[in-house]
């Protein structure tokens, strides 16, 4: 599918593509295919997923790394939310933390949107302690560009910490590899960086912020989160009962 540039996008593309990106993320890929494989944990993936990942890596994807400041929550809470992405997205909307909608489309597969400019499908292909890998396809329709499609691989690494005041926290590092379907746009982004990287990183940072705020809210006041669950008709009785067992029973 072709990519359409709106008038403002034409101007900004010409201006921003020639400005090296310095303040948005880390754009240098791992130093070798072996390092990339270790980052992804490729040996632990199924043969089918290994093949899909290898094809993406061979297509010279864009690479962005984001390291976030630790936020106050527990690893137990964070794992609970990551294992229940549709529920987490619903809670985020119920608590006015974020607009995301995520729906199951099959075992380990999802369809999602930020209800603004980004939509896509993805699959969780790797899960270990502190390490989750998602492979998907997405479409971006924003103010500057329309019909930008591509493949994406997201590697989330997270670890528990104890802050100076003794509070539990979780630190995240997100690795994102993107291959745009539009070969010209992809080549420009690889050579000059900037505007595409800015758009990708802004979307990633926003989703991390929603996860942070929801995790902190659940850590600080699980009863208020449960109240939001009771006000949402899309959350099942089974999900409410499970939440109660996890967070409200002594």
User: Global pTM?
Assistant: 0.85
Q: Record the tokens describing residue 161, joined without a space.
A: 């910490």
Which pLDDT tens digit goes with each residue over 136-165? 999 999 887 789 999 999 999 999 999 999
**Nearest CA-CA partner of 26 in 52, 55, 62, 51:** 62
Q: Is residue 99 part of a domain?
A: no
**Nearest CA-CA partner of 243 in 16, 77, 65, 54:** 77
Residues 138, 140: Cα–Cα separation, whole Å: 7
Tell me the average pLDDT across 88-109. 95
Cβ neighbours of residue 127 closer than 8 Å, sequence gap 6 or more: 133
Which pLDDT tens digit goes with each residue over 27-73? 445 556 677 777 788 888 899 999 999 999 889 888 888 988 899 99
Q: Is residue 184 part of a domain?
A: yes
Task: Give the H or E element holding residue 6.
Answer: none
Number of domains in the chain: 1
Q: Is residue 94 part of a domain?
A: no
pLDDT of residue 12: 39
3-class DSSP assignment, residue 107: coil
Its domain, for residue 153, covers 4-85+105-213
Cα 135 from chain centroid?
10
Q: Is residue 224 part of a domain?
A: no
Residues 202, 117: Cα–Cα separation, whole Å: 12
Residues 40, 126: Cα–Cα separation, whole Å: 9
Q: What CATH code is carried by the domain that includes residue 169?
A: 3.30.530
- Placement of tokens 């043969």 in the chain: 47
pLDDT at residue 111 tops 50: yes
Contact indicator for 200, 120 with CB cutoff of 8 Å: no
Residues 85, 134: Cα–Cα separation, whole Å: 12
Q: Is residue 220 part of a domain?
A: no
Question: Torsion angle, CA of 78/82/83/86, rounded to 10 degrees?
Answer: 130
Q: Is residue 158 part of a domain?
A: yes
Q: Is residue 35 part of a domain?
A: yes
* Residues, the chain: 250
């Amino acid at each position: 599918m072709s990519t359409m540039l709106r008038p403002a996008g034409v101007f900004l593309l010409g201006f921003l593509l020639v400005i090296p990106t310095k303040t948005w993320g880390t754009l240098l890929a791992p130093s070798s295919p072996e390092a990339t494989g270790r980052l992804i944990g490729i040996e632990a993936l199924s043969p089918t997923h290994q093949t899909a990942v290898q094809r993406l890596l061979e297509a010279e994807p864009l690479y962005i790394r984001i390291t976030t400041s630790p936020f106050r929550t527990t690893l137990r809470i964070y794992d609970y939310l990551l294992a229940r992405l549709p529920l987490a997205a619903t809670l985020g909307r119920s608590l006015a933390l974020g607009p995301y909608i995520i729906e199951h489309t099959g075992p380990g597969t999802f369809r999602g949107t930020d209800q603004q400019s980004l939509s896509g499908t993805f699959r969780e292909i790797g899960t270990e302690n502190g390490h989750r890998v998602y492979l998907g396809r997405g479409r971006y329709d924003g103010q500057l560009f329309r019909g930008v499609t591509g493949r994406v691989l997201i590697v989330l690494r997270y670890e528990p910490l104890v802050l100076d005041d003794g509070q539990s926290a979780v630190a995240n590092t997100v690795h994102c590899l993107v291959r745009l379907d539009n070969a010209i746009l992809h080549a420009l982004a690889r050579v000059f960086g900037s505007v595409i990287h800015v758009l990708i990183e802004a979307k990633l940072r926003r989703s991390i912020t929603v996860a942070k705020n929801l995790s902190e809210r659940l850590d600080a006041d699980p009863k208020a989160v449960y109240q939001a669950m009771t006000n949402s008709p899309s959350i099942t009785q089974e999900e409410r009962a499970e939440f109660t067992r996890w967070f409200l029973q002594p």
